[in-house]
Amino acid sequence: MLAVPLLHAADWPHWLGPNGDNIAPESGHFEADLNKWSEAWKAKVGRGYSSMIVSRDRAYTIGHDEKSQETVRCLDIKTGDVIWSYSYDAQLLPKMHPGGPNASPTVVGDRVITLSKDGQIFCLSADKGKELWKANLGKILEIEKLPAWRYASSAVVDDGRVLFSAGKVAALDLKSGKTLWTSKNAYHPGLYHANRFQAGR
């Protein structure tokens, strides 16, 4: 369930906002007192941790049905009505949390780029949600098994290249989805390291 407050703001087309610094541009309409906010609408979008991404009066997010599918949804930012949705088979992959997608959509021009929890990349048309191309991040980076914390890299688009990170960095062509390059340095994706400390030394 997602609740959206009634306010006016600039587009937020990708993770961390328009400038990549998690700061909303000054709009002159922001009410700092949250007690004065009113709820505009609610929508059920499924399980997960994807942010709500806003572009051209539309909102985009990803959620899992807790059974077998993830769904990308495009909502009317004023009413919360679903404009289009795109579903695909995907694992829930709970690990120390209920599961569901971690990455947020990225909107660039007339395209929406998404990454599922299990590594599926989709490029959809922003107007109707039509699949333009798809790829698999694990195959591109030659990762044999899912990272410990699964895939959570929201796409970064730069000069026609779509960038993802998971141990290595991959660059895909925005128009075709073709892999342009992968970085040489490889690190263990999604692992954490526990250090043991000995007392009384």
30-34, 55-59, 104-108: the lowest-pLDDT one: 30-34
Type of residue found at 43: A
β-strand pairing of 106-108 with 156-158: unpaired
Residue pair 118/93 in contact (Cβ under 8 Å)? The answer is yes
pLDDT class of 120 with cuts at 50, 70, 90 = very high
DSSP state for residue 47 in the 8-state scheme: B
13-17, 67-71, 136-140, 190-194: the lowest-pLDDT one: 190-194
Which pLDDT score, from 0 to 100, does residue 162 have? 98
Which pLDDT score, from 0 to 100, does residue 10 have? 74
Report the alpha-carbon distance of residue 162 to residue 121 in Å, rounded: 10
- Of the candidates 63, 107, 58, the residue with the CA atom closest to the CA atom of residue 78: 58
Which pLDDT score, from 0 to 100, does residue 197 have? 35
Report the alpha-carbon distance of residue 183 to residue 121 in Å, rounded: 18
- What three-state secondary structure class fits 35? helix
Report the alpha-carbon distance of residue 93 to residue 129 in Å, rounded: 25
Give backbone dihedrals phi and psi of 57, rounded to 5 degrees, phi first.
65, 20
Which pLDDT score, from 0 to 100, does residue 201 have? 33
Residue pair 85/104 in contact (Cβ under 8 Å)? The answer is no
Please, what are the domains in the chain?
Answer: 2-136 (2.40.128.630)
Which pLDDT score, from 0 to 100, does residue 149 have? 76
Percentage with pLDDT > 70 across the chain = 87
90, burial (CB in 10 Å: exposed 0-12, middle 13-18, buried 19+): buried
Report the alpha-carbon distance of residue 15 to residue 163 in Å, rounded: 13
What is the average per-residue pLDDT within 189-193? 51
- Helix (H) and strand (E) counts in the chain: 1, 14
Stated pTM of the model: 0.85
